[in-house]
Amino acid sequence: MGIGTLIYKKAFVNRFDDDKIIFYFSYKDFPGLRAEPVEFKTPQGLLIKGNIYSYENHSKDDLVVFCHGMGGGHRSYMREIETLCQQGYEVLAYDNVGCWESEGENVRGLTESINDLVSCLDFICGSDNLKDRGLHIIGHSWGGYAAGNILNFRTKNIKSVTVISGFASVESVIWGGFGGKLKMFRKAILAYERKVNPQYVDSCSVDAFRNTDANVLLIHSKDDAVCDIASGLGYVRSQISNPNVRYLEVEGKFHNPNYTVDAVTYMQQTFGEYQSLLKQKKLKTFEEKKAFMDLRDFSRMTAQDPEIWAEIFRNME
């Protein structure tokens, strides 16, 4: 295994579990919100676990499928999921392979998010209770990459796609993230992804959106340092012209454009201070780290921007 592949695997190909330090909401934190367990397997035989969330009197016939980003699980997005449920939807959200409640030694690679979303839609297609329902696919970051590419592989019953801070393809994010002296490693990284999920490595959301009849909304903050807008929204917009595809650029939201400005600012301050204390070795033990986070207001830190959600719901009409 070459040095480029080793660097890539160290950065992206890990097992991600809830470290119990950062607070994550569950459905129990929202009175009346229900969670019905679901599980399905990938073609590789790995078990994926999740839930269908809803309030008792949900009014929408369509089903939302929510795809999470890298580094967490679907409960990292409970505020987003609950916002959708408040609007009357049922939301199927799951942990990708290698994340939280799902099986897997690691996440296998960037392309795994597409593999898992395809597996989810195949599960839905095979379910008597779900197979005939309209679908809305929403994803953030790594999940946004999956959502943006799904129409290249599955189209049945998909009415809308919303991509939040997602990258268009493995190639676009590697070309953006591995520049300078790291350019020499690009081919090795693509070769690794091709070995893991050969059917998905060349997929690009440009091809998925070029002629789609589904409603598509891409949301990105201009100052996103995690997933540069040039590898996502900007790249797609430069390549296609389809009136069904809309673009929403914001500023000052970094990697979370659906949050309020105050939430993003508070998050930056919290984790900036946390990282500084770690470097100063003032937070060494699990107990010290958890005590720091326990004093933070995670409701404020994850507050959702109603104007952004109005555009998401408009896309789902």
Please give the pLDDT value at position 179. 59
- Find the range with the poorest average confidence among 36-50, 79-93, 187-201, 241-255: 187-201
pLDDT surpassing 80 at residue 7: no
Name beta bridge partners: 38. Answer: 50
Mean pLDDT in residue range 6-34: 90
d(CA 304, CA 259): 4
57-61, 124-128, 237-241, 258-262: least confident range: 57-61
In this prediction, residue 32 has a pLDDT band, given cuts at 50, 70 and 90, of very high
Average pLDDT over residues 222-243: 95
**Band of the pLDDT at 1, cuts 50, 70, 90?**
low
Count Cα atoms within 13 angstroms, Cβ side, for 238.
9
Mean pLDDT score, 141-157? 98
Non-local CB neighbours of 284 within 8 Å, separated by 6+ positions: none
**Per-residue pLDDT, 4:** 59
Confidence label for 13 from pLDDT (cuts 50, 70 and 90): confident
CATH code, 3-259+305-315:
3.40.50.1820
Q: In the predicted model, is pLDDT for residue 206 greater than 60?
A: yes
pLDDT (average), residues 311-315: 98
* Pick from 94-108, 151-165, 188-202, 265-279: least confident: 188-202
Alpha helix (H) residue ranges in the chain: 3-12, 78-86, 112-125, 142-149, 170-177, 186-196, 205-209, 233-239, 261-279, 286-294, 298-301, 306-315
**Average pLDDT over the chain, rounded to an integer:** 94
Q: What is the mean pLDDT of residues 231-260?
A: 97
Q: Name the segment(s) of the chain with CATH classification 3.40.50.1820.
A: 3-259+305-315
- Please give the helix or strand (H or E) that residue 54 lies within, else none: strand 47-54
Q: What CA–CA distances, in Å, run from 229 to 62, 70, 94, 97, 221?
A: 30, 17, 26, 26, 7
Q: The tokens of 174 are what?
A: 């590697």
The pLDDT of 245-250, averaged and rounded, is: 98
Residue 76, pLDDT score: 97
pLDDT at 229 over 80: yes
Q: What was the pLDDT predicted at 177?
A: 63
Write down the pTM of the prediction: 0.95
Per-residue pLDDT tens for 83-134? 999 999 999 999 999 999 999 999 999 999 999 999 999 999 999 999 999 9
Average pLDDT over residues 61-85: 97
Q: What are phi and psi of 155, to 5 degrees?
A: -130, -15
Could you tell me what percent of the chain has a pLDDT over 90?
88
Q: Is it the case that residue 137 has pLDDT exceeding 80?
A: yes
Q: Which segment of 2-6, 24-28, 115-119, 286-290 scores lowest on mean pLDDT?
A: 2-6
pLDDT at 184: 66
- For the record, the structure tokens of 111 come out as 């392309």
49 or 185, greater pLDDT: 49
279 has a pLDDT exceeding 90? yes
* Residue-level pLDDT at 181: 60
Q: Per mean pLDDT, which range of 93-107, 186-200, 264-278 is the poorest?
A: 186-200
